[in-house]
Amino acid sequence: MSDLDHLFERIVAGEIPSHKVYENELVYAFLDINPLSRGHTLVIPKTRYERIDQLPPETAAALGRALPTVAAAVMKATGTTAYNVLCNTGRPAGQLIPHVHFHIIPKHADGSGLPHNWPAAPIDKDDAPALCQAIVDAMPTA
């Protein structure tokens, strides 16, 4: 286990200083210390969950309510109207800290922010129906 494993819990507890922009009983938001652009903000659950699919419904809902509130404040404060919301889940996807966190990354006129020239390819039309059905079948039942 590395020091990064519990970094966000230590920030929430006040053991490590942060530039807090938002807090409620389940969610904490603060400026990223290595921003891709001015205003780059992290929105996290106060309790550590490594992956989105591990979030309890009430925590997921609280994050869902906080994201537009924080995004609107970041846009107003930075004077930009474009931004990306990103959540890396798992080390292969770029998650360095094993604690769910959403990045709100303003896209400024100078081009700073998240690059958006990701390589894409057309969907495999032969695989799509089976993949779609596999995802539908994996959905939890109500």
pLDDT one-digit tens code per residue, 52-76: 999 999 999 999 999 999 999 999 9
Residues facing residue 107 across a β-bridge: 82
CATH number, domain at 133? 3.30.428.10
Number of H helices, E strands in the chain: 3, 5
Q: Which residues are catalytic?
A: 101
User: What's the number of domains the chain is made of?
Assistant: 1
pLDDT one-digit tens code per residue, 81-102: 999 999 999 999 999 999 999 9
Distance, CA of 130 to CA of 142 (rounded, Å): 23
CB 112 within 8 A of CB 37: yes
Distance, CA of 69 to CA of 25 (rounded, Å): 15
**Residue of 38, 36, 58, 39 whose CA lies nearest to 47:** 58
Is pTM beyond 0.75? Reply is yes
List the domain range (segments joined by +) for residue 53. 3-138
Question: For residue 142, is pLDDT > 90?
Answer: no
